Amino acid sequence: MDFALTDEQRLLRDTVREFAREEVAPVAEDLDRTKAFPYDIVAKLGALGLMGIPFPEEYGGGGADTLTYALAVEELGRIDSSVCITMAAHISLGTTPIYLWGTDQQRSEWLPELCAGRKLAAFGLTEPEAGSDAGATRTEARLEDGEWVIDGAKQFITNAGTDISGCVTITAVTSRGDGGREISNLVVPNGTPGYEPGAPYRKMGWNASDTRPLAFTDCRVPEDALLGRRGDGFKQFLQILDGGRIGVAAMSVGLAQGALDEAIAYAKERQAFGQAISKFQTIQAKIADLSAQIEAARLLVHRAAMEKDAGKSFTLTAAQAKLITGRLAVRACEEAVQIHGGYGYIEEYPVCRFYRDAKILTIGEGTDEVQQMVIAGQLGL
Ligand SMILES: Cc1cc2nc3c(=O)[nH]c(=O)nc-3n(C[C@H](O)[C@H](O)[C@H](O)COP(=O)(O)OP(=O)(O)OC[C@H]3O[C@@H](n4cnc5c(N)ncnc54)[C@H](O)[C@@H]3O)c2cc1C
């Protein structure tokens, strides 16, 4: 495995690093406090070509590989998780299904606007009664006079209810003629009668990102809103989740690194017992452990991305990376708060927000327990 980044990968990483520091860091605390969706930042990310990093240039995408995408996600995650998940969910969950399985018409209708960041895409898999067990989907779509009629509900969906949300791809049960159960994916544009994004949730973290329940009541979309083949929905969402895990793992590495950055800076500055607390061995040990674990986790994420780019199976590595990095992010943020002492509990220090933002990383995109199931399955258990 070649650990060296190409010139293009380094350039993009450095561009996003600078953007995150100059444009996102100054407003992150305010966005979190006011729970305001970062429209201006999304527009700037779009202008920089970051809302469509892995998609072909013919659609306005960046034509970059998965590793480049992971590097960009890490750099945003290092500064602000709300902005980061908005981009990562838009790319990995929202836009990828349309790119992978869309017809020429679906691609040309959606991808240019999505890659430019003028519109956002969402992926609606989770339901009140179907989370980890996503195959238990209850939302139904029946074909009537050349239209799909959708009834059901989704919950915890990212990016579906903003002013620029363009569409959501949902899983729905499309019963076969023989009465058998099958799941298919359908693209539902925002504004379709019968499709109502609900009020945003009050969350522990990711405060500036958009998360809502969705309701579908006699919602009608044309027959060609089907994404890919009828009945392929289960296979498709597993594939989307596999790829999405690389993005969330990169985000976790970014958050852990961001927490470590803050902890090091604070430890050098804070005086106790007549010297900087960075001189105490117990503080140094925490920082050294985190530094080593973050670097190891980063390499695992890069390996998953490189396997995907090489067209190899990456299910095992992506699940391992997601499991390791989510836990690491939670621990790194906790240690960073600890190193800040009482100030770590006060919102004006970024580690306070980081700590709240971290926990979802062991839950979203498949919980830790689901990753363990995937890993065990890959190991033949
Ligand atoms: C902020 C946020 C954003 C999200 N964005 C999206 C999105 O954009 N699109 C989307 O579709 N979903 C999204 N989700 C949903 C998220 O993916 C789910 O919450 C997650 O998959 C877990 O599902 P659940 O909440 O129903 O928990 P459950 O599946 O009910 O799990 C509850 C507990 O039981 C455990 N458990 C379940 N089954 C097993 C098992 N077989 N063995 C052992 N333990 C088990 C779980 O690990 C967990 O600890 C989001 C969630 C949040 C909070």
Q: Which atom of ligand 1 is nearest to the CA of 158?
A: 8
Q: What is the pLDDT of residue 179?
A: 73
Side chain identity at residue 294, one-letter code: I
Look-up of token digits 């003629």 = 177
DSSP assignment letter at 127: B
Q: What is the pLDDT of residue 178?
A: 76
SS3 160: coil
Q: Which of 96, 132, 360 is the pocket-test mutation for ligand 1 (most atoms within 8 Å of CB)?
A: 132
Q: What is the pLDDT of residue 131?
A: 96
Q: What is the pLDDT of residue 370?
A: 98
Q: What is the pLDDT of residue 1?
A: 67
Encoding tokens for residue 246?
A: 């690389």
The torsion angles phi and psi of 196, rounded to 5 degrees, stand at -125, 110
pTM beyond 0.75: the answer is yes
321, 301 in Cβ contact below 8 A? Answer: yes
> How many A from CA of 137 to the centre of ligand 1?
13
If DSSP states are collapsed to H, E and C, what string results for 271-310?
Answer: EECCEEHHHCHHHHHHHHHHHHHHHHHHHHHHHHHHHHHC
Q: What is the pLDDT of residue 89?
A: 98
| 180 vs 171, higher pLDDT | 171
> How many A from CA of 118 to the centre of ligand 1?
29
Ligand 1 near 89 CB (within 6 A): yes
pLDDT of 188 over the 80 cut? yes
320, 375 in Cβ contact below 8 A? Answer: yes
The torsion angles phi and psi of 235, rounded to 5 degrees, stand at -60, -40
> How many A from CA of 322 to the centre of ligand 1?
14
Encoding tokens for residue 184?
A: 């298919």
| 187 vs 175, higher pLDDT | 187
For the segment 74-102, the average pLDDT, to the nearest whole number, is 98
pLDDT digits (tens, 9 = 90+) for 223-257: 999 999 999 999 999 999 999 999 999 999 999 99
74, 75, 262, 365: the catalytic one is 365
Q: What is the pLDDT of residue 290?
A: 98
Q: Which atom of ligand 1 is nearest to the CA of 367?
A: 47
User: Distance between CA atoms of 172 and 125, rounded to whole angstroms?
Assistant: 9
CA distances from 187 to 192, 195, 223, 242 (A): 11, 12, 10, 20
pLDDT digits (tens, 9 = 90+) for 100-146: 999 999 999 999 999 999 999 999 999 999 999 999 999 999 999 99
Ligand 1 near 132 CB (within 6 A): yes
Ligand 1 near 129 CB (within 6 A): no
CA distances from 131 to 103, 180, 314 (A): 28, 22, 22
| Mean pLDDT computed over every residue of the chain | 97
Nearest CA to ligand 1 atom 48: 367
Q: What angle do CA 44, 46, 49 make, to 5 degrees?
A: 115
* 365 in catalytic set: yes
pLDDT of 177 over the 80 cut? no
Ligand 1 near 112 CB (within 6 A): no
Q: Transcribe 314-364 into DSSP letters.
A: -HHHHHHHHHHHHHHHHHHHHHHHHHHGGGGGSTTSHHHHHHHHHGGGGTT
Residues 6+ apart with CB under 8 A from 373: none
pLDDT category, 175, cuts 50, 70, 90? confident
Residue in 77, 69, 82, 78 with CA at minimum distance from that of residue 30:
82
Q: Which of 120, 367, 370, 374 is the pocket-test mutation for ligand 1 (most atoms within 8 Å of CB)?
A: 367
Question: How much of the chain exceeds pLDDT 70, in percent?
Answer: 99
